Amino acid sequence: MIYPEVPVGALLAGSARRFGDRAAIHFAGRELSFADLYARACAFGNALGEAGIGRGDVVAVHLPNCPQYAIAYYGILLSGATFSPTNPLLPPADLAAQLADCGAVAALTWAPAAPALAAVRDRTALRLVLVTDREQALDPAHRHALDGLGDFEAFHADAPTAPPAVEIDVHRDLAHLAYTGGTTGRSKGVQLPHRNVVVNALQYACWGTGSVPALDDRGGVVIDQTGPPQEYPIRLGTGIGINLTPWFHAMGTVGALNVPMLTGGTTVLHERFDPGAYLADAERFAVTSMGGAPPIYAALLRHPDFATRDLSSVRQISSGAAPLPVEMIKGLQRRLGADVAITEGYGLTEVTMGATIGPAARSAVRKAGTVGLPVYDTEVRIVDPAGTDLTPLPAGEPGEVVIRGPQVMVGYKDRPNDNAATLVDGWLRSGDVGVLDDDGYLTIVDRKKDMLIYKGYNVYPRDLEELLHAQPGVGGAAVVGKPDADAGELPVAFVVAPGLADADALMAAVNAQVTPYQKLRELYLVDAIPVSAAGKVLKRELRERLRTDTNG
């Protein structure tokens, strides 16, 4: 495709003029139209400029999904500053490390999470911290009075709503400085210019709707839907979906915020996953699409309301973050109909969000168990993981997935060695193991290193292993994923600790230091951890032990 040479703010600008009073975001009864979102984002961007924050500065957003998140996200980018998403559940030490690494000079935090940020502020470069909360999400007139923190709505209430007059170099100026999963010592800052975000959003928006990019008469991005209704039944400006994907994740920021913005979709935000409430709103709002990680679909399939709610409006289902089991796909298809397109995608933060997805057109060939085809202008190759060159392997042979395309990052922040190992001759080495079939459909065989996925969240075993090794009496530790129908994988630890009898106390000591989704779910005290002759932990033996114990 031909991608307009515009900054990310042009995505919202074009949609605000095109879709105007249509609801862009619905949150617990409050609606924010496309035009209103653009006006408030411009005001926030202008307020940042008046505070001396703009091009070259990093602003951290330390929020869950809420209307304020979207306002702040686009406002930051319109101001010329760089957006850096920060998980509001991060423990203080990890929050301090990320804020220090990204060099954020301003942050927007959630009132319940504000104490954690306040406690580490002296370890950061922050000179402005704003706060908001759920009450303000429902009523923007609500104000906060917290020591040392500014009120988000008051900060930009009287700022001009005209677009900030800022020159942005779309190839050089960073839109996102997003962090890979993990805690201190593991997370890496991924540098993504405006060009990357615009390209990746358009790749997925156009792929899913049968559209091509264009500009309106004022430089805003619009897409023209050339695909016919019989192939793409969700027409621009008519889509409605419920979103649970955190906007602080790449899949959330690009796939669940920017893509609906381009297609004129209404996003209904849910604060937490409640299958009954999800299904009730799916019927109430007549949702046209469903998206999320496999655990969401597992819970919906089991819920009694799934069989009785009116879901006849659903035309498309998308899944990411983990493989969607084939039996689950069949169950969804039986309930919703064979003409509902069920697509899986694959990506990582280093490619802005995504590289592949299943075809969306109704008549297209979809292969259950695959993550689809490369999106526009994207190449995927399978190579020898141990090789030094990138010669492609034959179709059907597993190897490392490498990706080349305009959405590939410019590099990690301040990590030249990692960049040299990851970016090779224009290709991104993913570290994931996959297979391409004869038709170019990709299947992911194994995930990066030993990462496991719990309810769509990345969990890195090494982080937990380091914490276990730091506990008194622990002589060895290994963490693996245990398959679980609801969560995807459960973090389970095997620990060598002679003389220690209380496994529960050890597990509690580690769990007190991590975010909720990283918590160990089981811990086994063992005499030894299996290792190879070279001393490498044989995690496949531990996974097999879990399967044997479960089946036995």
Domains present along the chain, CATH in parentheses:
452-551 (3.30.300.30)
DSSP readout, 454-486? ETTEEE-HHHHHHHHHTSTT--EEEEEEEEETT
DSSP readout, 145-189? --TT-EEHHHHHTTS--SPP-----TTTSEEEEEE-SSSTTT--E
SS3 224: strand
- The answer to whether 473 and 500 are in contact (CB under 8 A) is yes
Cα 479 to chain centroid, rounded = 24
With CA atoms as reference, report the closest residue to 168 among 74, 59, 56.
Answer: 56
How far is the C-alpha of 403 from the C-alpha of 468, rounded, in Å? 35
Alpha carbons within 13 angstroms on the beta-carbon side of residue 77 total 30
How far is the C-alpha of 326 from the C-alpha of 311, rounded, in Å? 21
Instruction: Please give the helix or strand (H or E) that residue 495 lies within, else none.
Output: strand 488-496
| Cα separation values, 308 from 282, 303, 339, Å | 12, 10, 19
Long-range residue pairs from 416-422, CB within 8 A, at least 24 positions apart, any chain: 418/188, 422/350
Which residue in the block uniquely carries the two structure tokens 């399967």?
547
With CA atoms as reference, report the closest residue to 47 among 81, 14, 96, 23.
Answer: 81
Question: b vs e for 283-322, b when ≥16 Cβ sit within 10 Å of the residue's Cβ?
Answer: eebebbbbbbbbbbbbbbbebebbeebebeebbbbbbbbb
Total residue length of the chain = 552
- The answer to whether 189 and 102 are in contact (CB under 8 A) is yes
pLDDT in tens, the chain (552 residues): 999 999 999 999 999 999 999 999 999 999 999 999 999 999 999 999 999 999 999 999 999 999 999 999 999 999 999 999 999 988 899 999 999 999 999 999 999 999 999 999 999 999 999 999 999 999 999 998 788 899 999 999 999 999 999 999 999 999 999 998 643 346 899 999 999 999 999 999 999 999 999 999 999 999 999 999 999 999 999 999 999 999 999 999 999 999 999 999 999 999 998 999 999 999 999 999 999 877 788 789 889 999 999 999 999 999 877 667 777 788 899 999 988 999 999 999 999 999 999 999 999 998 888 999 999 999 999 999 888 889 999 999 988 999 999 999 999 999 999 999 999 999 999 988 889 999 999 988 766 566 788 888 878 777 788 788 888 888 788 899 999 988 889 999 999 888 888 899 999 999 999 999 999 999 999 988 887 543 457 887 898 888 877 654
Q: What is the DSSP letter of 393?
A: P
